Amino acid sequence: MNLRGKRILVTGGDGFLGSHLVPRLAAASGVEVAVPRFPEYDLTDREAARRMYRDFRPEVVLHLAAMVGGIGANRANPGLYFHGNMAMGLHVLDEARLHGVERLVLLGTICAYPKFAPVPFREETLWDGYPEETNAPYGVAKKALLVMAQAYRAQYGCDFVTVLPVNLYGPGDHFDLENSHVIPALVRKFVEAAESGAAEVEVWGTGRATREFLYVEDCAEALVAAAERLEGPEPVNLGAGFEISIADLAAASGVEVAVPRF
């Protein structure tokens, strides 16, 4: 799809990823990108989602809006995250169908992958098991929306495509320990250690766990490419293609890291 001149809407466009994506989409389309904002457009409410489509009349939608946090927030809000992500997705996708949107890009998550899936993740293993328990409410909700996107393509001919980005990092990330992910949480620990004069920084667990990371600007570029060129119902991972252990990631800072031994 040629995005030039298209009316584009990005839910969650004022968030971490969205703030990097919107300028790229504006450059590709040549027109201002619509960014509906909460609470004026509370997408967990069906009428608000309907009003969003009426107000902005988008031809292309990228659905980034989500309720998600770090480990602490995931443990504290499993019901909220499941219901919120399901409700937003149901409303955004169904109203896209009803309003004749030409293309919708659904942002999924690698949290949908099975707990014991081989890494790096491969799309064909997505349905081989249950997600890691802490991430399951968020991951399963996103997984269900993938099925919805596929079902709407099959029954209604909707051009809905799905991408599954890995852990993102970069400028504008969240650094509060309750909602942050690995890299910003480590950055905060290092900064606080430097400010307090601490000799060591302790990381979580054994440090042997591995994660795959992607720079947020690279993800934004990939999403523009998905909006332009991705075809078909099957989800596509967005990642670097390799993983790094938490211990090695922490050691890359140059700070002496205390890794518990069990």
Dist CA 262 CA 258 (whole Å): 13
Pull the structure tokens for residue 101. Answer: 């949107």
138 is catalytic: yes
Treating both helix axes as pointing N-terminal to C-terminal, what angle do 78-98 and 46-56 enclose, rounded to 10 degrees? Answer: 40
Dist CA 2 CA 226 (whole Å): 11
Bridge partner residues of 245 (DSSP) = 210
Cis ω for the linkage preceding 233 (within 30 of 0): no
Write the burial class of residue 98 (CB in 10 Å: 0-12 exposed, 13-18 middle, 19+ buried): exposed
> Which residues, 6+ apart, have CB-to-CB distance to 71 below 8 Å?
134
Q: Which of 41, 81, 138, 169 is catalytic?
A: 138
Write the burial class of residue 16 (CB in 10 Å: 0-12 exposed, 13-18 middle, 19+ buried): buried
- Residues serving a catalytic function are 138
